[in-house]
């Protein structure tokens, strides 16, 4: 076996006795010296659980004890106590509950046994520090000591450089956190003298190798514990009698932002242990502006700016910064802020440790950082005494612990804080605070409590504890992607008894959101503000989907989310790419000054705050940052101050145009509306007709066909074809319009510039329409954007729909049926609302002109006598082509008239006229759906007759004329004269969205389910569904899907988000048996095989490598973990299962009532086959419980002892906080109590009996 610098070993050092199991609550708990137990083994709870259950025991075939000279790698010769514990014990077949117990510890942390010898996975700490806390971001992998990268704000500002997952798996053990222990033992029972050693816990050199159980029996045992707000690794080194545990968490609820690391070293031997240690970061990046590009592309040159400075004349408080921000600009920015590493011995006063920052002192000239040559050549004590140099190179941050002596069973904990300070003078104060006795322990406990508080909103108790935990994890990850809503401005009882629609003082603000941009999704640039009320921007479709259930959990937000997203609809029918946090401003400066006086201590602070509030837009986190920087002294609590300010503030949604217009962004509005009306059915009319909304104003315009139909050579260069390229343009006129709102003093563009106006540049008013009018506009434009065959909606904005890996489809003049199915639902909803309330629609006059033209074109088509042939040709019939051309021209002319402004004029459409035209449009959409089913799909083993709806079409422009214009590359532009349709294989999105059209027809639903089940979309091996069928033979023109190997990323993989959308539709369509069969059969978490899935069964992934992937060892593994749209679908499933589709209904008298109609299988009450015993009430009835509206516990009493599928309760008992009860006989809760529940006024719990 290869030699290692990890030397020593302990001659004859082992213990044959299996000790009693330690029952401490956490592996990281400091162990006290225990004189009552002479053995050196100290088992953590996680290891005890493994011994008890015999999990993955590594069999040892030899009892020979190695001598010191035979120990080449750390831990060689270790015998497996778990295997010994199992000898002679008759094993029984474990129940499902017992198997699940092996996966989690007693605090519900997921356990990765031998984590660094398993397939690689990446993950992250949530970056949540509380409302009044400042987060850092951090990513970790199951290699080395875990943390692969961390920093502030974004990957541009790292303390440990951000690297993609494939590099992080390689580099983390060497460039990340390291621990070196240099010491000796005081002698052993069979040895007169001690022995010295140098070891590195968690080194890859001593990692176990899968499949080499016998050879690896002497290596240390390593375990990773994945918590919701922490991560811990533990190494048990039986040869050297050392246990090392490292726990990471983000510092919660403080004015500083830090990653906290607690390293606990325990003497598990039967004699004393004397050692010194270096513990910390092998590479520490300094501050110096945005560094990501420079670190990747000019890292060596960048080191010229780097230096390590000090807060005092010791090595205890180093400050890592650049001298200036690196640039060649005439304006030089001197760097004052810096990163710090502060370490100390836990529980010891004045225990601040020196930091070794000179990397060469630790590693010598071992530039790979694999070997600590500096330690080998001297000692840790000598290194601390040596001079260190930190200029012109990347430094380290190792806490140095000089010789300490631990008796058997004793521990020592080194706690380190890594963060940023705006000046070196701040370090002593930070060090004094964080090193105070008990501070880090309290903060770790608070970090755990914080997650429990945040996820308690979906507290659920069933017979399946894994399922209950998965709900909480999905809720957390959903909140991290979409944000968690807070209500601010609560100043009195009236406000606390109102929702945000009823009291204008109440403001809804989302915190903790961010775009994903983790180690596997390295293409995205995340941002997490290191401020109070921390949040970051998100992708439009992500946020729109992940806020779907906000009103379900927080009914007091009212229609906020619906109004926010409908505001983003532009005049052209598209939406921006990025959603940012809501911004606020104070319209009345005198009112702002009065509030400033009420919440501050001094006239000076009041004047400063008044100026801030009157100076322009702000966000809560920015206010508190300014308070800190300028020195505003508050006379009230932070919460009281922000409530006072927000109560007088005016809010405005914020978004940013990105690149191109995605075709699916509007498809999520109905989900938001349905969620709202399921809680507020009595608020629908007011929301639709009485709410006036603005139109977002982006700086890009969609080009007409004449400017984006480009004539180019085909791939082989033998012929020419027409592509749709550069479909949008950055509009300089729009830029000029926004620039007219630039503040001459600050140089900032005012918020008004984001909304389309009437009149001239910088003048006029923001144009507004009712919500129903904006939905009508959206429906009209999408109806006018159907393809030449009237089937799919064209991807004419340059981007595809949800499946953005079909990026080439826009160039193929492609269209999508998923968008058509959603259009059908949109038109149906608008038609239903107009029919129900019989109120007219008031729309922009320009839209009225377009509507008249498309209606006239439809009349011409109908009067032409055209009828579809029984077999539709690929060439688009002339009548349909002319109709398409006419309608598209009307759409383009409309957009041209409203490019920069609305006229301000409106057109009123009576309810009767609106119903007639909406009915006609709806009918035409259904005809198009029928054509799509006839033309169908085409692929491997798919002749187009499967009956499964197709998803996409392309159009080959078979005849064209050039129009004397050229694009930016000099290629000729053309006008289409004829087209032929092209088809594709099946995609899961097609039937998933189609099921919305047939969800009320159980027979059609069952028929479609069986068709999909027997189609090329089914992965029989995994019992899941492919995102696409086999794409073999398809053109690379369709997009990046074709660039990927089959089974990987979007090419025929299991894309969990779309799979969950499909499962949700089964539940909506009342295919209950099929849904729960799919769920429990392994199609959904947490019911997958953990060994195959490869990560926590509570965490969704973006995709699972399907059976189409060639490497069988990868098949079934989850990739791109968490922050997935799957969480939004899972929460919708949870809502349907536990509450039913409409918890609030309108009764025959027109009053609102509450009705809970769950869909719960009996195995969630009790599953004896799986070893999951249920909970029973005093009468012996099985019960499950869950929290509704994030605060009221609901208990279902299953007196029937059967599945509760669409079964309403027969009785409710509503218990109030004062102890009184309201008994209700029947299936619904009457109006007064129902409203009390919705307003969260004094209601403690609800018991429902079935």
Position 8 scores a pLDDT of 46
The answer, yes or no, to whether residue 436 has pLDDT greater than 80, is: yes
Q: How far apart are CA 338 and CA 340, in angstroms?
A: 7
Average pLDDT over residues 6-20: 33
Position 194 scores a pLDDT of 56
How many H-runs (helices) and E-runs (strands) does the chain carry? 35, 53
Average pLDDT over residues 955-978: 97
The DSSP string of 716-737 is TSSSEEEEE---EEE-HHHHHH
Strand, coil or helix: 926: helix
The answer, yes or no, to whether residue 169 has pLDDT greater than 60, is: yes
The DSSP string of 89-132 is PPP-PPPHHHHHHHHB-TT--EEEETGGGS---EEEE-----TT
Q: How far apart are CA 1182 and CA 78, in angstroms?
A: 48
Strand, coil or helix: 849: helix
Q: Tell how strand 1243-1249 and strand 1192-1198 pair up.
A: parallel
The answer, yes or no, to whether residue 71 has pLDDT greater than 70, is: no
Q: Which two tokens stand for residue 564?
A: 């926010």
Q: Please give the C-alpha separations between residue 926 and each of 523, 932, 997, in angstroms, as whole numbers.
A: 39, 10, 10
Strand, coil or helix: 1057: helix
User: What are the tens digits of pLDDT across the range 500-548?
Assistant: 999 999 999 999 999 989 999 999 999 999 999 999 999 999 999 999 9
Mean pLDDT lowest for which of 185-189, 244-248, 484-488, 1194-1198? 185-189
Position of tokens 């325990």?
266
Mean predicted lDDT score pLDDT of the chain: 90
Burial profile 203-239: b = 16 or more Cβ within 10 angstroms, e = fewer:
bebbbbeeeebeebbbbbbbbbbbbbbbbbbbbbbbb
Q: 970: alpha, beta or left, given left = phi > 0 and alpha = psi -120 to 50?
A: left
The answer, yes or no, to whether residue 1104 has pLDDT greater than 90, is: yes
Nearest to 1172 by CA among 526, 119, 463, 670: 463
Q: How far apart are CA 1184 and CA 1137, in angstroms?
A: 12
Mean pLDDT lowest for which of 7-21, 223-237, 282-296, 896-910? 7-21
Position 100 scores a pLDDT of 66
Spatial contact of 303 and 406, defined as CB atoms under 8 Å apart: no
Q: Which two tokens stand for residue 145?
A: 């000591």
User: What are the tens digits of pLDDT across the range 628-687?
Assistant: 999 999 999 999 999 999 999 999 999 999 888 999 999 999 999 999 999 999 999 999
More confident residue, 201 or 218: 201
User: What are the tens digits of pLDDT across the range 451-498?
Assistant: 999 999 999 999 999 999 999 999 999 999 999 999 999 999 999 999
The answer, yes or no, to whether residue 1035 has pLDDT greater than 50, is: yes
pLDDT class of 750 with cuts at 50, 70, 90: confident
Average pLDDT over residues 336-343: 97
> Of all residues in the chain, what percent carry a pLDDT higher than 70?
91
The answer, yes or no, to whether residue 13 has pLDDT greater than 70, is: no
Mean pLDDT lowest for which of 192-196, 751-755, 770-774? 192-196
The answer, yes or no, to whether residue 395 has pLDDT greater than 50, is: yes
User: What are the tens digits of pLDDT across the range 836-890?
Assistant: 999 999 999 999 999 999 999 999 999 999 999 999 999 999 999 999 999 999 9
pLDDT class of 752 with cuts at 50, 70, 90: confident
Burial profile 250-272: b = 16 or more Cβ within 10 angstroms, e = fewer:
bbbebebbbbbbbbbbbbbbbbb
First-residue to last-residue Cα distance in the chain? 67
């Amino acid at each position: 076996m290869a030699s290692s610098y990890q030397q020593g070993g302990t001659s004859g050092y082992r213990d044959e006795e299996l000790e009693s199991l330690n029952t401490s609550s956490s592996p990281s708990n400091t162990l006290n010296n225990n004189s009552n137990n002479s053995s050196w083994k100290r088992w953590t709870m996680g290891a005890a659980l493994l011994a008890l259950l015999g999990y993955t025991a590594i069999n040892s075939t030899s009892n020979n004890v190695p001598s010191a000279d035979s120990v080449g790698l750390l831990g060689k010769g270790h015998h497996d106590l778990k295997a010994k514990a199992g000898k002679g014990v008759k094993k029984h077949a474990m129940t499902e509950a017992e198997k699940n117990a092996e996966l989690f510890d007693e605090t519900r942390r997921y356990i990765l046994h031998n984590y660094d010898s398993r397939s690689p996975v990446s993950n992250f700490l949530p970056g949540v520090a509380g409302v009044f806390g400042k987060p850092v971001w951090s990513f970790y992998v199951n290699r080395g000591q875990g943390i692969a990268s961390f920093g502030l704000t974004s990957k541009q500002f790292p303390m440990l450089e951000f690297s993609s997952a494939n590099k992080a798996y390689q580099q983390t053990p060497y460039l990340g956190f390291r621990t070196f222990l240099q010491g000796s033992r005081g002698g052993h029972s069979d040895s007169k003298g001690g022995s010295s050693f140098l070891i590195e816990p968690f080194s890859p050199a001593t990692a176990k190798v899968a499949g080499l159980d016998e050879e690896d029996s002497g290596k240390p045992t390593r375990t990773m514990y994945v918590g919701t707000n922490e991560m811990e690794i533990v190494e048990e080194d039986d040869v050297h009698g050392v246990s090392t545990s490292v726990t990471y968490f983000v510092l919660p609820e403080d004015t500083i932002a830090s990653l906290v690391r607690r390293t606990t070293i325990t003497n598990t031997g039967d004699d004393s242990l004397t050692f010194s240690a270096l513990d910390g970061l092998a590479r520490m990046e300094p501050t110096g502006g945005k560094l990501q590009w420079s670190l990747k592309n000019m890292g060596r040159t960048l080191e010229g700016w780097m230096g390590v400075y000090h807060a005092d004349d010791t090595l205890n408080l180093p400050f890592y910064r650049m001298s200036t921000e690196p640039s060649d600009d005439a304006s030089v920015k001197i760097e004052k802020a810096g990163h710090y590493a502060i370490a100390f011995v836990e529980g010891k006063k004045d225990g601040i440790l020196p930091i070794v920052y000179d990397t060469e002192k630790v590693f010598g000239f071992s530039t790979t950082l694999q070997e600590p040559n500096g330690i080998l050549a001297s000692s840790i004590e000598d290194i601390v005494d040596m001079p260190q140099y930190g200029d012109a190179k990347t430094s380290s941050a190792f806490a140095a612990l000089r010789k300490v002596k631990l008796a058997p069973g004793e521990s020592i904990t080194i706690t380190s804080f890594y963060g940023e300070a705006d000046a070196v003078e701040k370090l002593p104060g930070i060090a004094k605070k964080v090193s105070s006795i008990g501070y880090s322990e309290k903060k770790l406990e608070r970090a755990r409590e914080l997650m429990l508080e945040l996820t308690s909103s979906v507290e659920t108790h069933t017979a399946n504890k894994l399922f209950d935990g998965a709900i909480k994890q999905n809720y957390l990850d959903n909140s991290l992607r979409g944000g968690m809503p807070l209500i601010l401005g609560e100043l009195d009882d009236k406000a606390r008894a109102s929702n945000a629609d009823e009291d204008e003082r109440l403001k809804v603000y989302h915190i903790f959101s961010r775009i994903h941009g983790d180690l596997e999704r390295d293409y995205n640039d995340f941002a997490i503000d290191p401020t109070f009320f921390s949040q970051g921007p998100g992708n439009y479709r992500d946020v729109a989907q992940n806020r779907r259930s906000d009103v379900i959990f927080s009914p007091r937000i009212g229609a906020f989310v619906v109004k926010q997203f409908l505001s983003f609809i532009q005049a052209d029918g598209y939406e921006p790419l990025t959603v940012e946090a809501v911004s606020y401003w104070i319209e009345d400066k005198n009112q702002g000054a009065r509030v400033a006086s009420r919440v501050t201590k001094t006239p000076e602070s009041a004047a400063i705050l008044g100026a801030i509030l009157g100076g322009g837009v702000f966000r809560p986190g920015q206010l508190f940052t300014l308070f800190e920087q300028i020195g505003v002294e508050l006379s009230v609590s932070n919460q009281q101050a922000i409530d006072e300010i927000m109560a007088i503030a005016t809010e405005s949604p914020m978004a940013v145009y990105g690149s191109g217009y995605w075709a699916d962004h509007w498809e999520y509005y109905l989900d938001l509306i349905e969620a709202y009306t399921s809680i507020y059915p009595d608020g629908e009319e007011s929301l639709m007709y009485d709410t006036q909304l603005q139109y977002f104003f982006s700086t890009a315009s969609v080009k007409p066909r004449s400017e984006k139909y480009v004539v180019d050579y085909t791939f082989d260069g033998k012929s020419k074809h027409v592509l749709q390229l550069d479909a949008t343009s950055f509009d300089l006129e729009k830029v000029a319009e926004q620039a007219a709102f630039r503040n001459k003093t600050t140089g900032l563009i005012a918020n008004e510039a984001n909304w389309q106006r009437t009149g001239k540049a910088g003048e006029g008013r923001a144009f507004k329409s009712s919500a129903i009018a904006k939905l009508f506009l959206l429906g009209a434009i999408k109806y006018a954007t159907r393809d030449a065959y009237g089937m799919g909606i064209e991807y004419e904005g340059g981007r595809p729909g949800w499946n953005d890996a079909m990026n080439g489809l826009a160039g193929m003049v492609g269209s999508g049926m998923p968008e058509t199915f959603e259009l059908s639902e949109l038109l149906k909803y608008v038609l239903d609302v107009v029919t129900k309330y019989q109120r007219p629609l008031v729309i922009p006059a320009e839209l009225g002109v377009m509507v008249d033209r498309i209606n006239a074109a439809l009349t011409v088509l109908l009067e032409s006598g055209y009828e579809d042939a029984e077999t539709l040709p690929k060439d688009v019939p002339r009548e349909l082509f002319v109709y398409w051309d006419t309608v598209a021209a009307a759409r383009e002319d409309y957009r041209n008239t409203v490019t920069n402004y609305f006229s301000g004029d409106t057109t009123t459409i009576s309810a009767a006229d609106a119903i007639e035209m909406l009915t006609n449009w709806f009918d035409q959409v259904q005809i198009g759906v029928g054509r799509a089913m006839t033309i169908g799909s085409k692929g491997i083993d798919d002749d187009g007759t499967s009956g499964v709806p197709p998803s996409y079409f392309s159009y080959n422009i078979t005849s064209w004329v050039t129009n004397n214009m050229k694009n930016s590359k000099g290629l000729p532009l053309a006008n289409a004269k004829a087209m032929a349709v092209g088809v594709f294989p099946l995609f899961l999105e097609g039937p998933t969205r189609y099921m919305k059209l047939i969800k009320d027809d159980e027979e059609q639903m069952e028929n479609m389910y069986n068709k999909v089940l027997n189609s090329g979309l089914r992965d029989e091996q995994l019992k899941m569904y492919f995102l696409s069928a086999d794409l073999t033979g398809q053109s690379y023109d369709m997009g990046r899907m074709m660039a990927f190997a089959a089974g990987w990323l979007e090419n025929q993989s299991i894309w969990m988000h779309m799979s969950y959308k499909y499962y949700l539709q089964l539940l909506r369509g009342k295919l209950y048996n099929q849904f729960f069969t799919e769920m429990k059969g392994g199609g959904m978490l947490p019911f997958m095989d953990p060994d195959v899935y490869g990560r926590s069964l509570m965490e969704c992934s973006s995709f699972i490598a399907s059976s189409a992937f060639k490497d069988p060892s990868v098949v079934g593994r989850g990739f791109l973990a968490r922050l997935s749209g799957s969480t939004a679908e899972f929460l919708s499933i949870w809502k349907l299962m536990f509450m039913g589709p409409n918890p609030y209904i309108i009764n025959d008298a027109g009053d609102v009532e509450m009705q809970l109609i769950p869909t719960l299988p009996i195995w969630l009450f009790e599953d004896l086959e799986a070893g999951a015993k249920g909970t029973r009430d005093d009468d012996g009835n099985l019960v499950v419980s869950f929290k509704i509206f994030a605060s009221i516990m609901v208990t279902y009493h299953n007196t029937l002892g059967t599945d509760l599928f669409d079964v309403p309760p027969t009785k409710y008992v509503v218990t109030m906080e004062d102890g009184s009860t309201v008994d209700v006989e029947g299936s619904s809760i009457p109006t007064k109590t129902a409203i009390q529940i919705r307003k969260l006024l004094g209601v403690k719990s609800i018991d429902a009996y079935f």
